[in-house]
Amino acid sequence: MGVEAEGGKVKVNLEGKPSLTGDLVINATGPQTRFSASKSILLGKLLERGLISPDEMDMGIRIAEDHTVVTKDGNESEVLLALGPLLRGTLWETIAVPELRGQASRVAATLVGGPVAPAEDLSALVEFII
């Protein structure tokens, strides 16, 4: 599979299928979703050292229910927590303000040693804390 210029057109070579030629190619697959192939130097080093591990979908960081990062060995990190887009493979909707507030609440509770409410318990409550 690949893309190449062919005169004033774009030729898309498909695996096991005939090539397509057009004036324009639009990549509608979205951003890179394979977390383990991230170009981030920080994330790459954390993965390399086993301090973080990909979630089951390989779309983000694997975490425990309290947002503590799970290491390559399956242990909970003593120093790393995660929230936001890094949790896309686990929580899917993780970029909107209500979800981020709920995640921040769970991370804060983890940091101070308080009880951590499951995500579904915080959805209605968080909306009224604004």
Q: How many CB atoms lie under 10 A from the CB of residue 38?
A: 16
Is residue 10, in this structure, part of any structural domain at all? no
Taking each helix axis from N to C end, the angle separating 119-127 and 97-112, rounded to the nearest 10 degrees, works out to 110
Is residue 13, in this structure, part of any structural domain at all? no
Domain count, the chain: 1
Q: Which pLDDT tens digit goes with each residue over 90-124?
A: 877 676 777 778 888 888 888 888 666 665 554 44
Tell me the C-alpha distance between 62 and 77, whole Å: 11
Is residue 7, in this structure, part of any structural domain at all? no
Q: Quote the pLDDT of residue 109.
A: 82
What's the average model confidence in pLDDT over 60-78? Answer: 92
Is residue 39, in this structure, part of any structural domain at all? yes
Taking the model in full, what pTM does it have? 0.60
Q: How many CB atoms lie under 10 A from the CB of residue 126?
A: 20
Supply the range of the domain harboring residue 68: 31-127
Q: Quote the pLDDT of residue 129.
A: 47
Tell me the C-alpha distance between 107 and 65, whole Å: 10
Is residue 25, in this structure, part of any structural domain at all? no
Is residue 60, in this structure, part of any structural domain at all? yes
Is residue 96, in this structure, part of any structural domain at all? yes
